[in-house]
Chains A and B, each alone.
Chain A
Amino acid sequence: MLQYLALAAILFAIGIFGVLTRRNAIGILMSLELMFNAVNINLVTFNKFIGPDNLTGQIFAIFVIVIAAAEAVVGLAIVLLLYRNWQGIDIGNINIMKW
């Protein structure tokens, strides 16, 4: 069980690294997907090893996948809008919401 948790932790750390260092908005969204997958591996692992008599962890993982898909759709729409209005999706240049 610990090996699965360790894999999920490493994957999550790589995702954090991507979110912190990417300059491209699509790269940040891809790193976010990595982090969602790490969380899902954790949920399924706990379901198998700690509470195997019902499948609540897998149900949760399905909901996480659905929410991740919705997030990706809205995020990419925002990215396309930024590209159209600013001719670039460099996160450092987009500071219109900064006060």
Chain B
Amino acid sequence: MFGVEVSQLFFYLLSFIIIVSAIYVVSLRNIFHCALFLILCLFSVAGIYILLEAEFLAAVQILIYVGAVSILMIFAIMLTSRLANKKIIQSNDNVTVAIFVCAGFLLTSLGSFGYSVWKVVDSPLPENNTLTLGKLLMTDFVLPFEVVSIVLLAAMIGAIVLARREKI
């Protein structure tokens, strides 16, 4: 779609936005601002999907994450609004331990890149991405597709039963 340099430029721009907004998500004190930065982060991840030629997945990301999950988060924050003001400390007292855990994870995963042998195949993805996805979902992956719909139904019923006010 673009030249290599342009997509490289977009990649660095998007990953900068993703990393900065993700750091804001985990560190800001006002939880509502965290939710807004989460939306920005998920939007940029959709851009990364487009760079990786997964257009359908980018659309699904925007519809489900940006449209549904973030709005759900904001609803929950507003329903528990007494806890969202700035005075309450939002982090607990094992910040140093957490920094060490993250640094260890990053060092091992980034360091293991050099030792891994990647069998990179240089053939392009199928031309009609969404069409192929739909065909795969209806042929090879039809059983997981149905199971996941049952999981969604169970989650919906479970959420309604959990959140209703009066006892059954």
* Interfacial residues, chain A to chain B (CB-CB below 8 A): 1-7, 9-18, 20-24, 26-27, 29-31, 33-34, 37, 40-41, 44-45, 47-56, 58-59, 61-63, 65-74, 76-81, 83-84, 88-89, 91-92
Contact A55 B45 (CB under 8 A): no
Which residue of B42, B64, B91 contacts A21 across the interface (Cβ within 8 Å)?
B91
State how many residues of chain B have any CB contact under 8 Å with chain A: 80
Across chains A and B, the number of contacting residue pairs, with CB separation under 8 Å, is 223
Q: Which of A17, A63, A70, A83 contacts B155 (CB 8 A)?
A: A70
Smallest Cβ distance from B10 to chain A, in angstroms? 12
Contacts of A49 in B (CB 8 A): 118, 120-121
Q: Chain A residues near B94: list those with CB within 8 A.
A: 20-21
Contacts of A62 in B (CB 8 A): 57, 60, 133, 137
Given the interface contacts A14-B22, A17-B99, A45-B52, does A53 sit within 8 Å of B92 by beta carbon?
no
Interface SS majority for chain A: helix
User: Shortest beta-carbon distance, A79 to chain B, in Å?
Assistant: 6
In the complex with contacts A67-B151, A77-B159, A52-B57 CB distance below 8 A: no
Residues of A within 8 A of B162 (CB): 74, 77-78, 80-81
Please encode chain B, from 118 to 141, with 1 for each CB lying within 8 Å of some chain A CB and 0 for all others: 111101111001001100110001
Looking at A10, A16, A63, which has the most chain B CB atoms within 10 Å of its CB?
A: A10
Complex partner residue of B123 from A7, A47, A52, A58, CB under 8 angstroms: A52
